[in-house]
Amino acid sequence: MLVTACPGQGAQKAGFLTSWLELPGFSTTLGTLADASGIDLRTHGTESDDATITDTAIAQPLLVAAAIASFTEIFGDDLQTDIVAGHSVGEIGAAAIAGILSPAQAMTLVQARGAAMADAAGAAASGMAAVVGGDPDGVLTAITDAGLEPANVNGGGQTVAAGASERIEEFAANPPDRARVIPLKVAGAFHTSFMSPASDAVAATAKTLSPQDPSVTILTNSDGTAVPSGADYLDLLVSQVTNPVRWDRCQETLLASGVTGILELVPGGTLTGLAKRAMKGVEVFPVKSADDIEAAREFVRAHAGA
């Protein structure tokens, strides 16, 4: 059984779409998605530096477009996935793959989301830090005691704390027992109350869309369960802006479902890295360059429907 995973913000790297844009089909798809978002995705995926594509308003549309276009290129008309799941903004790419949103609708939503979250991040000094190791329950308690919020519970011994910048600094200086705290280079405290100003803008855009029920099983970051209704999934995408990403629960659901392979769409590596630690025995394939396409297709054939 195969799950196709869409990575979230932070996975992007300068030039990560260069090899893909040599493919006519990918280039055409990306151009259509760029038109829908009003953002020059071609330039940002090939020429822009890391600092430029770290900008939330650019990173989020770029990642969603990369997931949609690479899925189209790899799966074509003849291959299928059993389950799809996205991490954070990757959930919007997953919604397009599952047929809940059209690709154009997905780009409309992610453009509004990225811009609104960038504005919210600029309204107050906030940040995030990865907590690696330690007792999971003890880490969550320590995050709360530090006046922070658990933005991502990723499993595999990784949790991300978020909140006011000064509290992140204090937390990093006094980590939980047997854990390391690593401040992250992000614009703000995503998936926390600091993003509340962005919620209304994302909700307003969501109301203009026409979600369909998914054509393939899709998991939600809210609690890791499968969501059969497109309308419900869209509501969850809106609430996700201020709520934590429970990728640990998504992984638990995948294990319980008997998943044998995880294909992580471009830029792959982050979610398959987590899976190696939390989903022992499940094969992984991080898609990184266009050179991976044929091997990725073989991986899909080996696991889909198994």
Give the active site residues. 88, 191
Alpha helices for 124-246 (secondary structure H)? 136-145, 165-173, 196-206, 230-239
Distance CA 31, CA 46 (A): 13
**At which residue do the structure tokens 């189209």 appear?**
72
**Sole residue written with tokens 């990369």:** 66
The CA radius of gyration of the chain, in Å to the nearest whole number, is 18
| Degrees to nearest 5, angle at CA 42 with 40 and 46 | 125
CA distance 154 to 277: 11
Amino acid letter at 95? A
Question: Who's near 21: CB < 8 A, 6+ residues apart?
Answer: 27, 30, 42, 45, 46
Integer Cα distance of 299 and 304 in angstroms:
8
User: For residue 286, which of 1, 4, 2 has the smallest C-alpha distance?
Assistant: 4
**How far is it, in rounded angstroms, from Cα 221 to Cα 90?**
10
User: Is-contact 12 90, C-beta < 8 A?
Assistant: no
